[in-house]
Amino acid sequence: MFKKTLATAIILVCIKSASAQDSTKKPFPLAISGSVDAYYRYSFEDPKLGGTNNLTSFTNSKNSFELGMASLKLDHTAGKVSATADLGFGRRAAEFSYNDGTNSLAIVKQLYVSYAVSDKVKLTMGKWATHVGYELVDAVANRNYSMSYMFSYGPFFHTGLKADIGLGGKSALMVGVANPTDFSTTTSSTKVIIAQFSTATKNDKLKAYLNYQGGNSPAFKLNQVDLVLTATLSPKFNISYDGSVYSVKNEGSSTKSWFGSALYLNFDPTDKFGLTLRGEYFGDKKAVTTIATDVLAITLSGNIKLGPLTVVPEVRLDNGKLPMFQKNNGSSTKSASSAILAVVYKF
């Protein structure tokens, strides 16, 4: 009887000791973040024949209150392994994952797993927002609410495998292979090569990103080179630049390309208010996109910061080389003007 009691006590002590050891281990935290946004867009021309005079992403409406996107991002890290699930709900998310239709894949903005091979090399597999360009899909990550032409007609995301490699100092290299651009799933064996070289000064006041995507198939050949530069001139003023050239050669035709160039002037007189002036020139004489002409777009946006809420009043003027917009009476015009009032909340 004593032996049984002693054995039982030893077992209970061992279980309690193991439980105590487990409880002293720090759990891996789950980070939750997100944002919501909504807006009202007013078209000064107010075309009556069903047009909106909007030719860029996420604001294809006129004289209407609209929902942008509710975004929920989950990040978890366990040692060398990390995972991210970034979900989006709303019109902006649907347009971002436009090739996924209305199935459940359409709400997945990003979904990937990463493994740190060393302190210099990290491998990532899944779906992630493109490295090409300056602007991002989430309204909370941009100072202008409306999007540029380069963002709208460039890549949105990639699904594949990439390696991030530290080169020492402030320089790094990313190389990867992915499905055809903007496809979460495909039966095509065609793949796209993606790459980025980034560097910066020691104080991070000057940064540069040289980006690439390209691929070949029996039906087409694609290449895009993009350069992003940022410069912090003072605590209240910084400048960013984005330039991109996109070329494609379809079977049986010559190479066609579009190019774009945008300058962003960011001024923050106080921590509660900022201004961003974006000037963009987009050239598409070869009709690679539906724009099919050259256009100059000037956008001025305010950023009124009320804690986690940012109010964005914005005015925009688009001027094409050829008539590409509509007047109220249905006739064509080269220019269009609009105003937006947006609210963006971050948590």
In contact, 282 and 306? CB cutoff 8 Å: no
- The predicted pLDDT at position 18 comes to 46
Please give the biggest Cα pair distance in the chain: 101
What would the pLDDT profile of 224-276 be if each residue is shown by its tens digit? Answer: 999 999 999 999 999 999 999 999 998 888 999 999 999 999 999 999 999 99
Q: Nearest 10 degrees: CA dihedral of 318, 319, 325, 329? A: 100
**Structural domains in the chain plus CATH codes:** 28-346 (2.40.160.10)
Beta pairing class for 335-346 and 332-333: unpaired
Residues of the chain under the 70 pLDDT cut: 1-26
Query: By three-state DSSP, how is residue 157 classified?
Result: strand
In contact, 303 and 310? CB cutoff 8 Å: yes
Select from 177, 255, 190, 187 the least CA-distant residue to 223: 255
- Read off the amino acid at residue 110: Q
Select from 101, 99, 100, 76 the least CA-distant residue to 86: 76
- The predicted pLDDT at position 291 comes to 97
The full DSSP string for 40-90 is EEEESS--SSS--S--STT---SSEEEEEEEEEEEEEEETTEEEEEEEEES
- Adjacent-strand bridge partners of 240: 230, 264
In contact, 340 and 39? CB cutoff 8 Å: yes
Sequence-distant (6+) residues with CB within 8 A of 16 are none
Sequence-distant (6+) residues with CB within 8 A of 36 are 68, 69, 70, 71, 344, 345
Check residue 100 and report its DSSP letter: G
What residue has token string 């950023």?
Answer: 303
Q: Considering the entire predicted model, what is its pTM?
A: 0.90
- The predicted pLDDT at position 20 comes to 45
- The predicted pLDDT at position 165 comes to 99
- The predicted pLDDT at position 102 comes to 77
In contact, 266 and 143? CB cutoff 8 Å: yes
Please, where are the H alpha helices in 178-254?
none
Angle at 97 between CA 122 and CA 159, to 5 degrees: 25
- The predicted pLDDT at position 49 comes to 79
Q: How far apart are CA 39 and CA 15, in angstroms?
A: 58
Q: How far apart are CA 233 and CA 248, in angstroms?
A: 37
Check residue 141 and report its DSSP letter: G
- Adjacent-strand bridge partners of 250: 220
Select from 339, 293, 322, 313 the least CA-distant residue to 149: 293
Q: How far apart are CA 169 and CA 166, in angstroms?
A: 8
- Read off the amino acid at residue 119: D
